């Protein structure tokens, strides 16, 4: 291995960890690769986001590591056709995303915006609210964040359902597994649906009008992974016309969410700006995953989190 480019901002400690992982390699730290990046001719690996123009300038490139957990933005046509190995930072934000899901469930379940409005108006307004105890959460996707959420939901004494492609594999904390063939049954049994799955051709637009009609009118929809898995027009109708009770949206079909988006003003929606995993620990876990992979790469060992380009994750 001759040279590697590492993009981003790093502490001196983390820069030293990267160098120690590849002591005989020319490690180049840069804030990012611009559209006309030069000097890629001898580069064998890149940590960060690359584009088709970069691929064309890097004939020796063998490996790209994405700082993101989801690989959808890295799977442009040229990358799909390339023999370059793509790895991701999957698992880096599992803990905070599961926490964010619990936060949104609690806020929706107890109508926290009502308390916030009362506080702003200096009103002592008490009301009877539900509990999460005994309710059912359906987790759509049981990767790192979905699996962690299952354990957290069980700690709140909830019934946990899971839906994934491989429904035969048990997941700790999940009471019942569902296959895609039982999608609407899964929706109909859940008081909360939490989307943690990556965006793939299979999941894109899967939550359409029929899906929202299959949910309970009292149920809430929460999306923390990627926008586009829910059809925005169908979701908007579901929220406006009472097909479902409300939504907590951290991932959106268009990001940033435009100021004129009707989702901002819906009284039954809580919006966060794709911010659920923005923690210092998430960033550190990304570095940890990359350093481990770099150590493996130099030693000729199998890499972690290799993206299946055909599956999209």
Task: Give the relative orientation of helices 94-109 and 144-155 as an angle to the nearest 10 degrees.
Answer: 50
- Active-site residue (options: 274, 285, 296, 304): 274
- To the query of whether residue 226 is one of the catalytic residues in this protein, the response is yes
Q: Which residues pair with 139 in a beta bridge?
A: 162, 194
Cβ atoms of 200 and 155 within 8 Å: the answer is: no
Distance between CA atoms of 215 and 136, rounded to whole angstroms? 12
Selecting among 100, 226, 252, 285, the annotated active-site residue is: 226
Classify burial at 23, counting beta carbons within 10 Å of its beta carbon; exposed 0-12, middle 13-18, buried 19 or more: exposed
Closest Cα partner for 53 from 32, 72, 73, 38? Answer: 38
**99 is annotated as an active-site residue:** no
Distance between CA atoms of 142 and 164, rounded to whole angstroms? 6
b/e sequence 255-281, b meaning 16+ C-beta within 10 Å: eebeeebebeebeebbebebebbebee
- Residue with tokens 């992979």, as numbered in its chain: 293
Q: Does 274 participate in catalysis according to the annotation?
A: yes
- What is the token pair recorded at 13? 């400690």
Catalytic choice (16, 131, 202, 255)? 255
Residues noted as catalytic: 226, 255, 274
């Amino acid at each position: 291995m001759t040279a590697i480019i590492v993009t981003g901002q790093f502490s001196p400690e983390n820069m030293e960890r990267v160098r120690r992982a590849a002591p005989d390699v020319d490690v180049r730290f840069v804030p990012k690769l611009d559209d006309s990046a030069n000097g890629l001719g001898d580069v064998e690996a890149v940590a960060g986001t690359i584009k088709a123009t970069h691929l064309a300038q890097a004939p020796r490139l063998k490996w790209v590591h994405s700082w993101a957990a989801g690989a959808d933005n890295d799977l442009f046509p040229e990358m799909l056709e390339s023999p370059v190995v793509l790895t991701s930072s999957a698992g880096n934000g599992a803990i905070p995303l599961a926490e964010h899901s619990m936060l949104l469930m609690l806020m929706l379940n107890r109508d926290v915006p009502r308390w916030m409005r009362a506080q702003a108006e200096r009103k002592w307004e008490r009301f009877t609210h539900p509990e999460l105890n005994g309710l059912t959460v359906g987790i759509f996707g049981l990767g790192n964040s979905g699996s962690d959420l299952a354990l957290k939901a069980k700690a709140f004494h909830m019934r946990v359902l899971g839906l994934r492609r491989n429904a035969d594999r048990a997941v700790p904390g999940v009471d019942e597994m569902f296959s895609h063939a039982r999608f609407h049954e899964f929706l109909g049994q859940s008081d909360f649906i939490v989307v943690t799955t990556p965006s793939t051709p299979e999941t894109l637009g899967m939550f359409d009008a029929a899906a929202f009609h299959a949910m309970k009118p009292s149920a809430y929809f929460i999306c923390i992974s990627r926008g586009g898995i829910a059809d925005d027009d169908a979701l908007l109708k579901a929220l406006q016309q009472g097909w479902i009770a409300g939504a907590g949206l951290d991932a959106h079909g268009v990001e940033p969410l435009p100021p004129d988006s009707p989702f901002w003003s819906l009284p039954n929606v809580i919006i966060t700006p794709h911010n659920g995993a923005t923690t210092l620990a998430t960033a550190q876990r990304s570095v940890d995953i990359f350093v481990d992979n770099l150590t493996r790469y130099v030693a000729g060992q199998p890499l972690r989190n290799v993206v299946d380009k055909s599956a999209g994750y």
